[in-house]
């Protein structure tokens, strides 16, 4: 029995850690010109937030002062009390430090974002500030969507979900507005990381906000209608229920979401990403993010540095645990360390796609 357990444990360990690491080859891919099309979908006119700060006495991290920040969303973001809620890890070291924005997987699982927020704080030893956005409310309420048997009601519910997606993208950009008022933050080195749907949202933020200097997309993609039409897990349950009720084929379902989620497609912003400062982590057998979506994100972002796991959508997260020797976490931290913690290089040059927003001074 002990021998069997050792073999099983060994196989599990191997499945968590086997991966390929492909560096960015700037000579191997011709960067496209900046996208000329501007949808205006992520424009906003909300002022710089003046958040309420609240203490987190039992969550302090060495080298940091950790506190919560809250402010009202300028849209309907689907979160409790329509608030933007984040944890701010402010470095106690003197001088300006880069900023890492960590996005959640809304109303799904807090494990990946918890590991990265706390783990990078320890890894950087106070060398970076961190904003960890909370996400208790659902952007897509899958079970509510599954219970709708009217096309009109389903269309309205999906439109509301897309609006919440837009809202949290704008919430994230307004966090950057606030960060720009903080003397301890190096505005030239702002990074963002997202997981699964958070990766999709992070890529849309980076494609519409030139202040994003560095980005990590974990198990994400582009062309979200392919995800809706092919993803398993709870997304498949919704698809089967709705398709049966409305008499839709898979292609009709795909076409519906192509229309509804077209502005949630990072591939629209091709040419606006910093390929040299981007890391994509994906699974070749991902059973939620289809190959076409993964390829679209890879190409839209300029074929950046990439880590490839040969497993499904959830298995790579095991490599963020001691069972998987924290391999994935360490790869993320090593990349962020190269891009954020080393002395800054050339200054950030704003791209031609700055979208509209009004900023006013924010109070502490």
243 close to 253: Cβ distance less than 8 angstroms: yes
What is the pLDDT of the chain when averaged over all its residues? 89
User: What Cα–Cα distance (Å) separates residue 186 from each residue in 96, 99, 101, 130?
Assistant: 5, 7, 13, 12
**For residue 19, what pLDDT is reported?**
83
Mean pLDDT of 238-265: 97
Q: 56-91, pLDDT tens digit by residue? A: 998 899 999 999 999 999 999 999 999 999 999 999
**For residue 255, what pLDDT is reported?**
98
Task: Quote the radius of gyration of the chain (alpha carbons, Å).
Answer: 20
Q: 98-125, pLDDT tens digit by residue? A: 999 999 999 998 999 999 999 999 999 9
Count Cβ atoms below 10 Å from residue 9 Cβ, excluding itself: 11
Residue 4 has pLDDT above 60, yes or no: no
- CA 347, CA 163: separation in Å to the nearest integer? 34
Beta bridge partner(s), residue 132? 87, 102
- Picking from 65, 60, 133, 61, the residue whose alpha carbon sits closest to that of residue 100 is 133
Examine residue 229 and state whether it is found in any structural domain, yes or no: yes
- CA 347, CA 189: separation in Å to the nearest integer? 9
229 close to 138: Cβ distance less than 8 angstroms: no
Mean pLDDT of 288-309: 97
**For residue 124, what pLDDT is reported?**
96
Query: What global pTM score does this model have?
Result: 0.90
Domain that holds residue 195: 49-341
pLDDT band at residue 30 under the 50/70/90 scheme: low
pLDDT band at residue 363 under the 50/70/90 scheme: very low
- CA 273, CA 96: separation in Å to the nearest integer? 24
**For residue 204, what pLDDT is reported?**
97
**For residue 8, what pLDDT is reported?**
40
Examine residue 132 and state whether it is found in any structural domain, yes or no: yes
Q: 135-192, pLDDT tens digit by residue? A: 999 999 999 999 999 999 999 999 999 999 999 999 999 999 999 999 999 999 999 9
Examine residue 67 and state whether it is found in any structural domain, yes or no: yes
Number of domains in the chain: 1
CATH of the domain at 178: 3.40.50.1820
Examine residue 293 and state whether it is found in any structural domain, yes or no: yes
Examine residue 13 and state whether it is found in any structural domain, yes or no: no
Examine residue 207 and state whether it is found in any structural domain, yes or no: yes
Examine residue 25 and state whether it is found in any structural domain, yes or no: no
Residue 5 has pLDDT above 70, yes or no: no
Examine residue 361 and state whether it is found in any structural domain, yes or no: no
What are the contacts of 247-255 at 24+ separation with CB within 8 A? 253/228, 253/229, 254/225, 254/226, 254/228, 254/229, 255/225
């Amino acid at each position: 029995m002990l021998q069997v357990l050792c073999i099983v444990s060994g196989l599990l360990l191997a499945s968590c850690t086997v991966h390929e690491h492909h560096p960015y080859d700037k000579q191997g891919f011709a960067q496209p010109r900046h996208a000329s099309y501007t949808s205006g979908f992520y424009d906003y006119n909300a002022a710089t937030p003046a958040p309420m700060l609240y203490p987190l006495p039992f969550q302090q991290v060495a080298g940091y002062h950790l506190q919560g920040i809250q402010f009202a969303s300028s849209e309907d973001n689907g979160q409790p009390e329509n608030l933007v809620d984040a944890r701010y890890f402010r470095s106690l070291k003197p001088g300006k430090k880069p900023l890492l924005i960590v996005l959640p997987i809304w109303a799904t699982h807090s494990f990946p974002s918890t590991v990265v927020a706390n783990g990078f704080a320890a890894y950087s030893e106070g060398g970076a500030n961190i904003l960890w956005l909370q996400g208790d409310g659902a952007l897509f309420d899958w079970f509510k969507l599954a219970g709708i048997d009217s096309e009109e009601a389903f269309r309205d519910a999906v439109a509301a979900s897309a609006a919440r997606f837009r809202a949290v993208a704008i919430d994230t950009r307004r966090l950057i507005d606030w960060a720009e008022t903080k003397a301890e933050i190096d505005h030239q080195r702002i990074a963002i990381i997202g997981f699964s749907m958070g990766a999709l949202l992070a890529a849309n933020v980076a494609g519409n906000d030139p202040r994003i200097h560095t980005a990590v997309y974990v198990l994400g993609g582009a062309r979200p209608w392919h995800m809706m039409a092919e993803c398993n897990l709870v997304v498949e349950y919704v698809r089967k229920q709705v398709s049966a009720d409305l008499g839709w084929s898979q292609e009709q379902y795909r076409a519906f979401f192509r229309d509804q989620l077209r502005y949630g497609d990072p591939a629209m912003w091709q040419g606006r990403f910093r390929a040299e400062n981007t890391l994509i982590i994906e699974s070749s057998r991902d059973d939620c993010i289809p190959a076409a979506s993964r390829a679209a994100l890879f190409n839209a972002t300029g074929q950046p540095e990439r880590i490839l796991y040969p497993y499904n959508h959830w298995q790579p997260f095991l490599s963020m645990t001691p069972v998987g020797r924290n391999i994935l976490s360490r790869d993320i931290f090593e990349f962020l360390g190269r891009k954020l913690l080393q002395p800054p290089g050339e200054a950030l040059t704003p791209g031609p796609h700055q979208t509209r927003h009004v900023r006013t001074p924010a109070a502490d």
